[in-house]
Amino acid sequence: MSETILLDHGAGGRASAELVASVFARHLNNPILAELDDAAVLPAPAGRLAVSTDSFVVDPIFFPGGDIGSLAVHGTVNDVAMRGARPLYLTAAFVLEEGLPLADLERVVASMARAAKQAGVAVIAGDTKVVGRGQADKLFINTTGIGLIPDGVEVGAHLARPGDAVLVSGSMGDHGVTIMATRQGLGLEAPLASDSAPLNGLTAALLAACPGLHVLRDPTRGGLATALNEIAARSGVSIELNEQAIPIDPAVAGVCELLGLDPLYLANEGKLICLLPEAQAPAGLEALRAHPLGGRAAVIGRAGQAHPGRVWLNTAVGGRRILDMLSGEPLPRIC
Ligand code: MG
C-alpha cells in the first residue's frame, strides 16, 4: 500500500476497502462497525436520546495534550454529556487531502480509538472521502454522537434560575492558548497542554450528587464569557462573576498577556460550567473536586435577575465590567 493518501483511497474501490480494513476497521473495531454495511443497526433504547454533531478542522492536527482524533471524540462526547446524557455511540466521517502521510492518519485513528474507549463509546459508522492537494488541509473529521438521557434528568442552557451558583470544573483557556502557541511556534518555557478530555464521567458524578442541577455547558469556542452569555440570554437571568475566583493557570495567563488574549474568551475542551441551586453548590463542588478532571473546580459567581441577559465581572482590582459575547474570530481553526 502507498505511504500517502491517494485520490484512489476515496474512490470506493479496492484502495478504499484496503484503507478501511487496514486503518479504520483495525483500530475502531466493534461488532456493529464490523458489519461494514450501508448503515449500522442498533438496538433502540427506551427513553430520550441526545444527538450532537461537530466538524473538527484544528490546525495543527497534533498538539501538546492531544490531536484532531482525540479532539473529535471529546468534543462530541462532551456536547452529548452537557444535556445530562450518557454517550453511547459515535459516527466519524473523514475528509482527507491527497498526499497525507498514511502514518499520520493511522496515528489520528489510533488516538480516536483510545479516546472512544476511555469515554466508553463505540464508533459504529464512518465515511472517508479524499480531495486533491490543496483542496483541504491534511484532514478534517466530522463526528456525530448519540447518548441516552437518564429518566428524570432535565438540564439545558434555558433552565438557569436567579440565585443559582455558577461553578467551573477547572482552569480556563488551556486549549485555546496551547493551539495558538503551537501554531505560532512560540518556544515557550512554560509547559502548555490542551485540556482535551471526555467529560461524561464528571457529568455523571455531578448529576448523582446534585439531582437539582439546572445547566451544564462546555465552554469551547468563545470560552467562558461567551458560554455564560448564551446561558444568561436563554434563561433570562444576569450572571455576576468574581474574577479572583476563576481558575487560570499561571502559564496560560502569561502567554495571554504576551499575545494580547483574554483567557475568558479562549476555548476549553475538557472543562464544564454548571449552574445549580445555591444550596447544592457545596455538594457539586465536592463531586467535581473528587474527580481527576475536577481538582481545580471553583464557585465563580451567581445568577441574578437585575439585568436579564447580562454577564458582569467583578474585577480583581475592585472594578466592574460587562463581559460581552465574543465578536470576530481571534483564533480560527481552534477545534
Ligand atoms: Mg458545547
pLDDT, tens only, 20-67: 999 999 999 999 999 989 999 999 889 999 999 999 999 999 999 999
Cell representation of residue 302: 451567581
By three-state DSSP, how is residue 87 classified?
strand
The rounded Å distance from CA 36 to ligand 1 centre is 30
The rounded Å distance from CA 308 to ligand 1 centre is 22
The rounded Å distance from CA 121 to ligand 1 centre is 18
Q: Is residue 47 part of a domain?
A: yes
Q: Domain check: are 26 and 129 in the same one? A: yes
Q: Is residue 335 part of a domain?
A: no
The rounded Å distance from CA 86 to ligand 1 centre is 15
Please determine, for residue 187, whether its predicted confidence score (pLDDT) is greater than 70.
no
The rounded Å distance from CA 18 to ligand 1 centre is 35
**Integer CA distances (angstroms), 326 to 100, 220, 230, in order:** 34, 12, 11
Cell representation of residue 65: 495534550
Q: What sections of 236-301 are H helices per DSSP?
A: 250-259, 281-289
Q: Residue 16 class from Cβ within 10 Å (0-12 exposed, 13-18 middle, 19+ buried)?
A: middle
The rounded Å distance from CA 175 to ligand 1 centre is 14
The rounded Å distance from CA 54 to ligand 1 centre is 10
pTM of the model: 0.96
Task: Note down the domain range covering 283.
Answer: 157-322
The rounded Å distance from CA 33 to ligand 1 centre is 26
Q: Give per-residue pLDDT as tens, 278-299.
A: 999 999 999 999 999 999 999 9
The rounded Å distance from CA 79 to ligand 1 centre is 5
Rounded Cα distance, 195 and 252, in Å: 12
Q: Is residue 1 part of a domain?
A: no
Domain-terminating residue out of 149, 182, 199: 149
Rounded Cα distance, 123 and 78, in Å: 15
Nearest CA to 307 among 158, 167, 162, 168?
162
Q: Domain check: are 16 and 122 in the same one? A: yes
Q: Give per-residue pLDDT as tens, 149-171.
A: 999 999 999 999 999 999 999 99
